[in-house]
Chain A
């Protein structure tokens, strides 16, 4: 098990994995979100090749109202 921070909350995940696997493990089944790892944008095209490690910080954002 490793621990990562997802949207500000400490979350246990099964092991180091790529972003695609993380999104599935966290059950992000909906479409239309974007992801950043340790403050850096991760494009969908690089989900499979980007590895999540212990203590990494992940932001998962989606459209909302804004001014």
Chain B
């Protein structure tokens, strides 16, 4: 494992895997998966609660007992106002100024609304939030988020829950090159460990995923696989990958090749 520590949102962490808490077969399974993943950031959310409910909120009790950083999301928001109100409510309930800003522009592909996301990010930053904005792989939207003060940007790999991996690595590379000093996390669409490795090899600082682990046949083993995948990708990036070539170049020496020109 890389010994390098990672600075994000005012914290110093070792793991570059951010994990979601939804969709697991059971709360116990969620707990085991998060533990084996060694993720130090877990996403959570807020939803309507009836009177008298929540006296035994097993899920939240488990998350609190794990002692890891909580990243509340504004999932379900369709406007900057809804996202801002949700973030403010989350800050009070979860006791953190971290917020995963998610403002959806389309119900079918759950694509983030770039205009409302930038609007909400600017206001939330002024209110003292540490904003983790979920966005597309659009370079100009990333620039607008950086302009309003975002220190972290989370471009999608592909649609939430699709498992399709990195749809547009070239766009992700462009964002990485343009913002060398920001923390960049690929969020959404990861399906296999190799997708996470690919994102880390591009130089991204972290990967956030939920469905790829929770919906696997064996979420606990998959969480372990993703832990290794993120570590491998980061080590590969730190080691510096070889340059691609447009021609073949043998690795075995050609001097002393037997049977060469034997029948000339």
Binding site for B on A (CB under 8 A): 7-8, 26-30, 32-36, 39-41, 43-44, 59-67
Contact = CB atoms under 8 A, between A and B. Distances in A.
In the A-B complex, the 4 residue pairs with the smallest Cβ-Cβ separation, listed nearest first, are: A66-B45, A67-B210, A67-B20, A34-B89
Interface centre among A40, A63, A67 (most CB of B within 10 A): A67
A30 B88 CA distance: 20
B211 A30 contact: no
Nearest to A23: B51
Given A63-B93, A67-B23, A67-B210, A30 B46 contact: no
Interface of B: 20-24, 30, 43-55, 57, 59-60, 63, 72-73, 75, 81-82, 85-86, 88-90, 92-94, 160-161, 210-211
Nearest to A30: B54
Q: Which of B22, B44, B50, B161 has the most CB of A within 10 A?
A: B50
A62 B92 CA distance: 11
Contact of B44 (A26, A41, A63): A63
Contact of A35 (B44, B59, B89): B89
A40 B88 CA distance: 9
Q: Which of A32, A43, A44 counts the most chain B CB atoms within 10 A? A: A32
A40 B86 CA distance: 9
18 contacts: A8-B48, A26-B51, A29-B52, A30-B52, A33-B49, A34-B46, A34-B93, A36-B85, A43-B92, A59-B48, A63-B45, A63-B94, A65-B21, A66-B46, A67-B43, A67-B45, A67-B160, A67-B211
B85 A65 contact: no
Contacts of A32: 54, 57, 60, 93
A34 B91 CA distance: 9
Which residue, of A29, A33, A65, has the highest number of chain B Cβ atoms within 10 A?
A: A65
A64 B42 CA distance: 12
Contact of B92 (A26, A34, A60): A34
B81 A67 contact: no
Contacts of A33: 49, 54, 93
Given A32-B60, A61-B89, A66-B72, A27 B52 contact: yes
A63 B57 contact: yes
A41 B123 CA distance: 14
A40 B53 CA distance: 23
B89 A65 contact: no
Nearest to B82: A39
A63 B51 contact: no
A64 B59 contact: yes
B75 A66 contact: yes
B49 A62 contact: yes
